[in-house]
Structure 1
């Protein structure tokens, strides 16, 4: 990475490295929390699609700040391995699998979560309609688990890609939460269609008991929930789905750092200051070498 690259001149990127965050996305959750006070009275948290762990870092530092909430529990779930984080229980698992739900409930001693969040996103293709669809499926997968594990009155936050059909998602979430807000943190680049859906006050659907089953698609999971989906009546009259526009809120002080701007390096930042690694490697080459050595399978050639 060259000295004049965009990342090096992005102050959020540099601040993340200086403050020990694993990614600049940590500032997005910090700004969302400052706007909505998401961590108030929170004891049990689930961070979905958590790797590399910047949101889990924020949750750990903020919830356990000043030595309080010693009985709080944070569970981070991702298919990829993560380096350990203080006060965070890490699960390398599939968020759509029932065993993942069972393991989380076991960790929480049968109690439901106060807050569920997801900063997950697909590898974008550049085809926005396709990227928007895949991201919507990822959100619905996270929402599946959230409906099974979130307590009544709890909160849910997830990354979204704003697009043509996002109002349908707003409408469907409105059946499950008292408030649904589209938020854009200052640390999220304005040039990006990325935003975050903030859902406050979970209200389970009457008579509907969510149950994770590997064979069910997200469409089949939510089909009996009656959340304003389109239907074709017996008289062949088509009733379209309800659509809503969620309130939009920009989070962060307007005088704070502009995430789309680049800044020249000042003299102090040009000094050779050695920083500790923000995370240890999850699968270093020497780890496999040590395993082979213990088994007597390591061959050393001269």
Structure 2
């Protein structure tokens, strides 16, 4: 029928439900960690633009697993591993294996940064991740610009809450002007790479900037206006594909029945208050013809 009929319920969508993740994006973070080992030695993490919470789920599980040995050796408990999830929207709780602290707030506000540091007992995070993205319009130039502003906002608050030597991972839309963003990252980090997980569709312009070894310029004072207070330098940023030919292809359709059995599973965590809830209530008792008419009138 056309591109609009493409089945979005790909192999990673189905595997997310089978593994208890709220979204397929969980595999993107797992594949990034497989290459860059971003969870090693980490016990304080911030997940920006966290809803619906799939990355927070990965953090809760992996940080618990990574810290289990050190916990037993040093007489620590899982409360010493702290994760903060920040989003404007409410998010269903994540309480196991490690409880995720939720802050419903704006990442451009200094008060949010202060709350994060207070939760870490006046310490700073060792890792900040951000999978946030705007509602895409389909107009690539506009989408790239809005995403770049979101990325800069994430970088801005990161300069307040990230400890020296820390890591920062965030979504980026690749475009003709993104070299400027790479240069901005290099002002604050010793190493910057661009990762494309195999679970990210080839047709998507998304990638992830992986920044390691946070080292702000001398005498730099974080501010919520513009983090870019030093001259930018030009650098060639390595582009890394996370995964190999053995990974499942996120753009390919796979049979639902691989071993003769397939059990359908509902979405693990449905939206709490979706924007379309009101219109669904209005149209549930109408015929299809009247539903289409009402939708046209609404738009």
Give me the whole-angstrom Cα distance separating, in 2, the residues matched to 1:80 and 1:280.
Answer: 14
Alignment match, 2:91? 82
Determine the structure 2 residue equivalent to 1:282.
272
Structure 2 equivalent of residue 47 of structure 1: 47
Query: Offset of 1:129 from its aligned partner?
Result: 1.1
| Alpha-carbon distance in 2 for matches of 1:105, 1:156 | 16
Q: Structure 2 vs 1, CA of residues 264 and 166 (structure 1 numbering), >3 Å: closer, same or farther?
A: same
TM-score, normalization by structure 2? 0.81
Judge conservation of contact 1:178–1:201 (CA < 8 Å) in 2: yes
Give the match for residue 189 of structure 2. 177
**What's 1:151 paired with?**
163
- In structure 1, stretches of 5+ residues that fail to align are 229-241, 285-302
* 2:227 match: 222
CA drift of 1:243 comes to 3.3
Q: Residue 13 of structure 2 corresponds to which residue in structure 1?
A: 13
- Residue 30 of structure 2 corresponds to which residue in structure 1? 30
TM-score for the superposition, normalised by structure 1: 0.81
Distance 1:172 1:269, change over 3 A: farther
Contact 1:51/1:81 (8 A) holds in 2: yes
Give the direction of change, closer, same or farther, for the CA distance of 1:143–1:268 in structure 2 (3 Å limit): same
**Partner SS for 2:128:** strand
Per-residue CA deviation, residues 187-219 of structure 1 (Å, 9 max, x unaligned), is 00111111000000000111111033xxx4xxx
Report the alpha carbon displacement of residue 254 of structure 1 after superposing the two structures with TM: 1.5
Task: Return the offset for 1:171.
Answer: 1.2
Q: Is the 8 A contact 2:137 2:143 kept in 1?
A: yes
Structure 1 residue 261 corresponds to structure 2 residue 252:
yes
Compared CA separation, residues 165 and 281, structure 1 to 2 (3 A): closer
Distance across 2 between alignment mates of 1:250 and 1:268: 30
Taking the aligned partners of 1:80 and 1:170, their CA distance within structure 2 comes to 29
Aligned partners of 1:124, 1:180: CA distance in 2, in Å? 26
Question: Does the Cα contact within 8 Å between 1:83 and 1:280 map onto a contact in 2?
Answer: no
Q: Over residues 58-90 of structure 1, what are the superposed CA-to-partner deviations in whole Å (9 max), with x where a residue is unaligned? A: 000000127725211000000010000122101
Match in the other structure for 1:233: none
Aligned length: 258
Structure 1 partner of 2:152: 140
Within-5 A mapping of 1:91-106 = 91-106=103-118
1:109 aligns with 2:121: yes
Structure 2: state its 5+ residue gaps: 72-77, 275-299
> How far 1:245 sits from its partner (Å)?
2.8
Q: C-alpha displacement at 1:135, in angstroms?
A: 0.5
Task: Please list the CA deviations of residues 143-176 of structure 1 after superposition, one character each: whole Å capped at 9, or x if unmatched.
Answer: 0110011000000000000000111111121111
